[in-house]
Amino acid sequence: MGDTQTLLAILRQSADPEVAEAVGRLIAAAPDRELHRVNVLSFSAKNGLDEEKVIAAFLHAARLGLFEMSWNVLCPGCGGVLDAGTTLQVVNRTEYSCTLCAAGYEPTLDEMVEVTFTVSQRVRKIAAHEPDKLSMWEYDRQMFWSTGVDLPDDLEHEIEDIVLDSVELPSGERAILSLQLPEAFIIVFDPVTHSAQFLDVKGAPTKERQTLSLVLNETHPQHETLALHPGPLRLALENRANKRVLPAVFIGGDKLHDLIGHRKPFLTAKRLLTNQTFRDIYRTQTLDIDQRLKITSLTFLFTDLKGSTELYERVGDLVAYDLVRAHFTVLHDIVASEAGAIVKTIGDAVMATFPTPERALAGALRMREAMRKLNEERGSEDLLLKIGIHEGPCLAVMLNERQDYFGQTVNIASRVQSLATSRAIFATEAVVEDRETSLLIERQGLHPMAQRAALRGINDEFSVYEIP
């Protein structure tokens, strides 16, 4: 543990010390299960810690080699992990299919990709480092279902009422299960290969033994639903995969849906991409150059300094440069504290992203107040900040070897900023009418003034609000 203690000491210097101590206790004393695919939001809630500080600490811990970061593509229906990798480049398909749900999904970064952290084998060996040795239901819990599925602690006991039979089947072996089928919808499912077979059991009961043969392999094709009668079934299973499989026969009713229907928050890829610590640490190689990943809702904030050219002429290059740097530092800190991230700076302008409109407006209000205080300290009006905000869908892309965003939402946010006058914040209808944003506006006693505006390069007029 000597090297681990050294790394934890470094972590305490780069991350919040209280969070770093909690991470150290997790590594030293937590059960194996809690060190695999750590849900950092659950960890935060359990320990009463700030979510943003926890996210930052685990990012630093991964950078140090204490944990390994995993990007998991999820089924939005059952919450199962359809694919996983060490970078976001794992999301490389136009559609992901879940055989358990018999549905296909176009991937988005909002709720379909979770980010988790698993303790490094060099730090502590846990059972999940060798998933082929996990028991059947621990495999289901730790490897198949995502951290957003709130499974009961006694999963093995809870699942007894909905599983007719199950078997651990080594590679190349066969097994025969003798079952008594009830009148119900039955699912034969293997979480290792994601193979599934649906059985619609209905009609008059039979005493004659029915037979069914299934081959389990990595291609996990979606088979057509078979109609069977209530009564005896001889189920022959053959494992043609290159590893053991864990098929089980489930009753696909309300109890199964209730078991996996309880959900809890998890760290999404969208939220991580809008995290300042992540952007600071992982500057490159987040996405492949050819990737275009959809985000259904992201909030963009653009700022610019009014009259910056005149500022350089008035106070000189050196003083102006120091002022602009000070303003960038303030904006960086405010954006990070509101769960956002600065994507890039363009001259004296800033492009930032936030997970929600409310966070963006909260940041904008703090930016405006911070500039007022800086001007007050200097006894001048040198730093006059123009701010524009818009929310909507976009694409996460790689531009100039950096993770960036593309789409009409980005264009509109930039155009809205160009409407702003000094000290006024301009936001679109999508931002102002957001529920949480409306509550913030009400708490602050603000009175947005609506107007129709023509935005350069945008055909239709937009409803924008000036927030004085």
**What is the per-residue pLDDT across 388-403, written as a single tens digit (0 to 9) for each?**
999 999 999 988 878 8
- Residue 279 falls within a domain, yes or no? no
325 CB-side CA count, 13 A: 6
Residue 222: pLDDT over 70? no
Amino acid residing at 366: R
252 with 296, same domain: the answer is no
215 with 241, same domain: the answer is yes
216 with 308, same domain: the answer is no
- Residue 445 falls within a domain, yes or no? yes
**Pair of tokens at residue 427:** 């936001």
- Residue 152 falls within a domain, yes or no? no
Residue 126: per-residue pLDDT: 98
155 contacts 77 by C-beta, under 8 angstroms: no
120 with 238, same domain: the answer is no
The interaxial angle of helices 17-29 and 2-14, nearest 10 deg, is 150
132 with 175, same domain: the answer is no
Residue 461: per-residue pLDDT: 75
Q: Which of 111, 145, 179 is where one domain is finished?
A: 145
- Structure confidence by residue, pLDDT tens digits, 147-201: 999 999 999 999 999 999 999 999 999 999 999 999 999 999 999 999 999 999 9
- Residue 217 falls within a domain, yes or no? yes
Q: Residue 431 CB: number of other CB atoms within 10 A?
A: 32
Residue 81: pLDDT over 80? yes
Average per-residue pLDDT for the chain: 92
- Residue 408 falls within a domain, yes or no? yes
22 or 346, which is more confident: 22
* pLDDT band at residue 464 using 50, 70 and 90 as cut-offs: very high
128 with 18, same domain: the answer is yes
Amino acid residing at 39: N
- Residue 284 falls within a domain, yes or no? no
- Residue 153 falls within a domain, yes or no? no
What is the distance of C-alpha 127 from the center of its chain?
25
The predicted model gives 280-296 an average pLDDT of 84
Residue listed under structure tokens 């505006």: 453
Can you tell me the distance from the alpha carbon of 167 to that of 349, in angstroms, rounded to the nearest whole number?
61
Residue 106: per-residue pLDDT: 94
166 with 219, same domain: the answer is yes
193 with 140, same domain: the answer is no
Can you tell me the distance from the alpha carbon of 111 to that of 295, in angstroms, rounded to the nearest whole number?
9
44 contacts 51 by C-beta, under 8 angstroms: yes
356 with 416, same domain: the answer is yes
370: domain CATH number?
Answer: 3.30.70.1230
Can you tell me the distance from the alpha carbon of 61 to that of 63, in angstroms, rounded to the nearest whole number?
5
Q: Which of 110, 145, 180 is where one domain is finished?
A: 145
Residue 218: pLDDT over 90? no
419 contacts 388 by C-beta, under 8 angstroms: yes
Can you tell me the distance from the alpha carbon of 63 to that of 84, in angstroms, rounded to the nearest whole number?
19
Can you tell me the distance from the alpha carbon of 52 to that of 30, in angstroms, rounded to the nearest whole number?
22
- Structure confidence by residue, pLDDT tens digits, 417-454: 988 877 789 999 999 999 999 999 999 999 999 988 87
133 with 197, same domain: the answer is no
12 contacts 4 by C-beta, under 8 angstroms: no
120 with 176, same domain: the answer is no
- Structure confidence by residue, pLDDT tens digits, 331-382: 999 999 999 999 999 888 899 999 999 999 999 999 999 988 888 887 676 6
419 with 350, same domain: the answer is yes
* pLDDT band at residue 310 using 50, 70 and 90 as cut-offs: low
Percentage of residues of the chain with pLDDT beyond 70: 95
- Structure confidence by residue, pLDDT tens digits, 30-48: 999 999 999 999 999 999 9
Q: Give the chain as a 3 state SS string.
A: CHHHHHHHHHHHHHCCHHHHHHHHHHHHHCCHHHHCCECHHHHHHHHCCCHHHHHHHHHHHHHHCCEEEEEEEECCCCCEEEEEECCHHHCCCCCEEECCCCEEECCECCCCEEEEEEECCCCCCCHHHCHHHCCHHHHHHHHHECCCECCCCCHHHHHHHHEEEECCECCCCEEEEEEEECCCEEEEEECCCCEEEEEEECCCCCCCCEEEEEEECCCCCECCCEEECCEEEEEEEEECCCCCECCEEEECCHHHHHHHHCECCCCEHHHHHCCHHHHHHCCCCCCCCCCCEEEEEEEEEEEEECCHHHHHHHHCHHHHHHHHHHHHHHHHHHHHHCCCEEEEEECCEEEEEECCHHHHHHHHHHHHHHHHHHHHHHCCCCCCEEEEEEEEEEEEEEECCEEEEECHHHHHHHHHHHHCCCCCEEEEHHHHCCHHHHHHHHHCCCCCEEEEECCCCCCCCEEEEEEC
- Residue 409 falls within a domain, yes or no? yes
Domain count, the chain: 3
Residue 41: which domain range? 2-145
Q: Which of 123, 145, 167 is where one domain is finished?
A: 145
Residue 321: per-residue pLDDT: 75
Residue listed under structure tokens 């988005």: 108
Can you tell me the distance from the alpha carbon of 303 to that of 420, in angstroms, rounded to the nearest whole number?
9
